[in-house]
């Protein structure tokens, strides 16, 4: 059933109400698509660190509400309304994060959950004001494009050879434990340096700011521009380990 969705990103009439949970899923699905990964239940479960049955149930709801449809190979695709809605909420999320860091001075490792709370309730008028307030900024503070099409694919920090020059593009997993960990290690989007060391446990980047060591699985969630560059690969590790603990979204 087609869902009437007159929502446009700026101004216009607000979209029909999707639940907060539905909007969280739409965002992850949008990110999977951006990252070049098939939108499947398994990938959603991995990205959100949720069980397969939980994800399966929500996918059924998203299908019934007209946001996604199932393809013949069992993967999912956005309907036109679904993609519009997903894009709108993703854009708003990244805009709020940028506003919180640049205008309100909230540290970048503390804005993701705040944005998740605010993004579902914001009016188009406030969104427009926030957009004006962030000036020329084109990404969220973790490197994700606010404007569609401005995303450089890059490669994974975990795959870079020692000696290569590295520019940090983006933190793909925004779970706050991971953002705290990356900040603690001194990494940030825009940081450039040289890959100093890489083994089965950790990856070390050195920059003008010092030495930055992260676990290999976290390095699999950091997108970089490297020279020489390894082949690109999806930023979705099997499981995420900061040190000995497991983390996820």
Size of residue set near Zn ion by CB under 5 A = 5
Q: How far is the CB of 131 from Zn ion (least distance, A)?
A: 16
- Segment contacting Zn ion by CB under 5 A, of 66-74, 122-130, 172-180, 184-192: 172-180
Q: Where are the alpha helices (DSSP H) in the chain?
A: 20-34, 41-48, 52-64, 80-102, 112-118, 124-133, 176-184, 216-219
Angle between helices 52-64 and 41-48 (to 10 degrees): 120
3-state secondary structure 151-197: CCCCEEHHHCCCCCEEEEEEECCCCHHHHHHHHHCCCCCCCEEEEEE
Site for Zn ion in 96-115 (CB under 5 A): 97, 112
Cα(186)–Cα(89) distance, rounded to whole angstroms? Answer: 29
Q: Which is nearer to Zn ion, 140 or 240 (CB)?
A: 140
Q: How far is the CB of 98 from Zn ion (least distance, A)?
A: 8
Q: Which is nearer to Zn ion, 21 or 71 (CB)?
A: 21
Residues ≥6 apart with Cβ < 8 Å to 232: 36, 153, 154, 155, 156
Q: Which of 142, 170, 188, 212 binds Zn ion (CB under 5 A)?
A: 142
- Segment contacting Zn ion by CB under 5 A, of 26-34, 63-71, 90-98, 216-224: 90-98
Q: How far is the CB of 140 from Zn ion (least distance, A)?
A: 3
Q: How far is the CB of 25 from Zn ion (least distance, A)?
A: 15
Q: How far is the CB of 97 from Zn ion (least distance, A)?
A: 5
In 3D space, the residue among 120, 129, 66, 92 whose CA is nearest the CA of residue 9 turns out to be 92
Q: Which is nearer to Zn ion, 22 or 97 (CB)?
A: 97
Instruction: Check residue 92 for interaction with Zn ion (CB under 5 A).
Output: no
Q: Which is nearer to Zn ion, 23 or 81 (CB)?
A: 23
Q: How far is the CB of 142 from Zn ion (least distance, A)?
A: 4
Q: Is 208 exposed, middle or buried (0-12, 13-18, 19+ CB in 10 A)?
A: exposed
Q: Which is nearer to Zn ion, 46 or 93 (CB)?
A: 93
Question: Dihedral angle at the C-alpha atoms of 40, 42, 45, 51, nearest 10 degrees?
Answer: 130
Joined tokens for residue 225: 């521009």
- Segment contacting Zn ion by CB under 5 A, of 83-91, 166-174, 210-218, 221-229: 166-174
Q: Which of 24, 81, 109, 174 binds Zn ion (CB under 5 A)?
A: 174
Binding-site ranges for Zn ion (CB under 5 A)? 97, 112, 140, 142, 174
């Amino acid at each position: 059933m087609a869902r009437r969705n007159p929502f446009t990103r700026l101004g216009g009439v607000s979209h029909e109400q999707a639940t907060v949970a539905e909007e969280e899923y739409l965002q992850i699905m949008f990110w999977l698509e951006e990252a070049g990964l098939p939108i499947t239940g398994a990938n959603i479960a991995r990205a959100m660190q949720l069980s397969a049955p939980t994800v399966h149930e929500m996918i059924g709801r998203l299908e019934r509400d007209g946001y996604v449809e199932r393809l013949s190979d069992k993967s999912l695709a956005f309907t036109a309304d679904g993609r519009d809605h997903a894009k709108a909420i993703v854009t708003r999320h990244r805009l709020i994060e940028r506003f919180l860091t640049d205008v309100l001075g909230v540290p970048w490792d503390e804005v993701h959950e705040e944005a998740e709370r605010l993004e579902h309730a914001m009016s188009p008028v406030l969104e427009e004001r926030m957009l004006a307030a962030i000036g020329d900024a084109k990404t969220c503070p973790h490197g994700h494009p606010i404007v569609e099409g401005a995303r450089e694919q890059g490669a994974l920090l975990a795959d870079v050879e020692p000696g290569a020059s590295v520019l940090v593009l983006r933190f793909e997993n925004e779970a706050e434990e991971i953002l705290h960990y990356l900040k603690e290690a001194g990494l940030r989007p825009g940081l450039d340096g040289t890959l100093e060391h890489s083994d089965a446990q950790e990856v070390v980047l050195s920059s003008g700011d010092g030495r930055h060591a992260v676990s290999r699985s976290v390095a699999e969630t950091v997108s970089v521009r490297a020279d020489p560059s390894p082949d690109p690969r999806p930023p979705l590790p099997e499981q995420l380990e900061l040190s000995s603990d497991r983390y996820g979204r």
